Structure 1
């Protein structure tokens, strides 16, 4: 397989809490009623699977064909995913299980996720973790629906990001104040979510998983907080580092002001989330994603743009 750059086409999903800001912001074309989630990188066969534009094949198939040569990755399936989201209503209170539990009970791996605010970033509150000291106490508070006692609300400062290991309770308690806000999430490649509470919306497509939540929730979990990224200034751009965890993912943002050289040994997916420019001889526009093979060499960045990147170190 020729070592070149490849364009990855997104897939979209509508949700009851989703809005249409992603359509307008990224100029996405879809007949869906709304775009709650735009998956820039995802490879779940027969479920959610991006398309490799140059070859017109699913990303999951592209990975299987090239995991040794282009990805240089020994994982059975592509280990990473990214998406953008726009919420105009409350998200359920939920968590993502660990791989062992998810595979055993739902035939899908668990999920670790980190989220940044792309637009309308401001100080606010986040639901992260809970106040129960034991699993029995957690169960009792759930049975009583004593959410005020159970849920842990923390302060979020503009420019911070959230990182949620498996088993971390999270969600939203209020309708978003700014319904045009867009979030970008870096994740492990799964789509398994357990819901604890969905504000009595009683949607048959959104079942609750109370017993599974009690089984898998981290206890105790009262120390997790939003994090500050590490920012490095380089010639022509800034490198904003979020998570760099072996066996999970490496996530970052490149804020290109004029141009510069970027290089990493591992494969990487780069999604343009603001502006436009070029990567070597490839144009990249708002909403587009480019896959860069492992050991590709220097990337010449030019233009004025922001690129969200995700990679994996085994």
Structure 2
């Protein structure tokens, strides 16, 4: 197949969601509390359908199982990555995700959840929780037991264009007024430390997972500081934001035209501007909010226009 795979987004309502996925990206959202767009996903809890070409109507999950040549014949039972756009109108719960070993042992799932965030937009004074102040696991458990949340969690101010690497075991929360693009392992396992004692429309609180949260947390916390590298190819400025065990992530800024060889299958999301992509005889218009995969079966593609994209692929061993 010498074409891209374009996808229909999967939209998910959340107690903390808002309206920016509709207002800023033009998605058809189910309500004004829509928190997540799953733009590229093969996960059983939400897999995208192709909207173009010979595989129109097929899901990523179906293509992974039946057409592995599109993905470099990469091994594994599950499509490995998941790309989201998150609109946090309210604070997300303070949470932690397990690593692969813990996920397999306690949840029976192939992947833990290491992720990364690129800040697309934010309200003034918006903040994240990233890490904690406990020096030992015993101190962490004691502070949680006493409800010393303000002393325990570390807050970080955000700016548009900030990038954060959030490996499994990192205590974290996306704060209110933040819109991010998240690239992560394809896992939906979340352990909640704290949810601000809030209730849903029926007056119910959400479950907490204190024992699992404490067991999975990195102690003491260490900030991840991935090395970044920038270069230019014709009209395309590329910044490699991170290269780690599960994914390599890039920020692309296009102003003009660039032609590139296909070396691996690549996940891409347009986060600003508009343009087009041509592979072989196929040309597609791209605008903010578009998500697509350049498959491994393509040989070369050309990008034209003025747009910003986030791109990623699995990291070769």
3-state SS of paired residue (1:153): strand
**Residue 212 (structure 1) aligns with:** 212
Check the 8 A contact 1:161/1:226 in 2, yes or no. Answer: no
- 1:16 Cα deviation (Å)? 0.9
Which residue matches 2:146?
A: 144
Contact 2:198 2:205 in 1 (8 A): no
TM alignment of 1:223-302, pairs within 5 A: 223-224=222-223, 229-246=228-245, 248-280=246-278, 281-294=283-296, 296-302=298-304
TM-score, structure 2 as length reference: 0.88
- 1:196 counterpart = 2:190: no
Tell me if the contact between 1:161 and 1:228 (Cα under 8 Å) persists in the aligned partners.
no
**Cα distance in structure 2, aligned partners of 1:73 and 1:232:** 28
Q: Map 1:107-146; keep pairs closer than 5 Å.
A: 107-108=108-109, 109-120=111-122, 125-146=127-148
The answer on whether the counterparts of 2:130 and 2:170 sit within 8 Å (CA) in structure 1 is yes
Deviation at 1:43, TM superposition (A): 1.1
Are 1:161 and 1:229, in contact at CA under 8 Å, matched by a contact in 2? no
Q: CA deviation at 1:231?
A: 2.7
> Could you tell me how far 1:229 is from its partner in structure 2?
4.3
Q: Which residue of 2 aligns with 1:74?
A: 75
Which structure's residues are more often strand, by fraction? Answer: 2
1:273 alignment partner, SS class: strand
Deviation, structure 1 residue 143: 0.3
CA contact (8 A) 1:134 1:220 kept: yes
Whether contact under 8 Å (1:159, 1:228) holds in the other structure is no
1:25 is matched with which residue?
24
Note if contact 2:96-2:213 (Cα within 8 Å) is conserved in structure 1: yes
SS in structure 1 opposite 2:206?
coil
Q: Is the 8 A contact 1:121 1:158 kept in 2?
A: no
1:52 aligns with 2:50: yes
CA distance in 1 between counterparts of 2:250 and 2:272 reads 14
Query: How far apart are residue 298 of structure 1 and its match?
Result: 2.5
**2:90 alignment counterpart:** 89
CA distance in structure 1 between the aligned counterparts of 2:16 and 2:190, rounded to whole angstroms: 15
Instruction: State the SS of the aligned residue for 1:15.
Output: strand
Q: C-alpha displacement at 1:7, in angstroms? A: 1.0
Aligned length: 305
Residue 205 and residue 277 in structure 1: after superposition, are their counterparts in 2 closer, same or farther (change >3 A)? Answer: farther
Scaled by the length of structure 1, what TM-score is found? 0.89
Residues 258 and 304, structure 2, Cα contact 8 Å, conserved in 1: yes
The 3 A distance-change label for structure 1 pair 285 and 125 is: closer
Query: Quick one: distance in 2 between partners of 1:158 and 1:226?
Result: 18
TM-aligned CA deviation for residue 122 of structure 1? 7.5
SS of residue in 2 equivalent to 1:119 = strand
| Alpha-carbon shift at residue 292 of structure 1 (Å) | 0.8
Q: Deviation digits for residues 285-312 of structure 1, max 9, x if unmatched?
A: 2212221112633321101111111211
Question: CA shift at 1:164, angstroms?
Answer: 0.7
Q: 1:72, CA displacement in angstroms?
A: 2.6
**Cα RMSD for the two superposed structures:** 2.2
- Relative to structure 1, is the Cα distance of residues 167 and 70 closer, same or farther in structure 2, using a 3 angstrom cutoff? closer
Summarize deviations over 1:125-183 as a string: whole Å, max 9, x none: 432111211111111111011123321234555533110110110015x6x3xx3x421
Determine if contact 1:154/1:225 at 8 Å carries over to the other structure.
Answer: no
Shift of 1:67: 1.8
Structure 2 gap ranges (5+) = none
Distance 1:3 1:205 in 2: 49
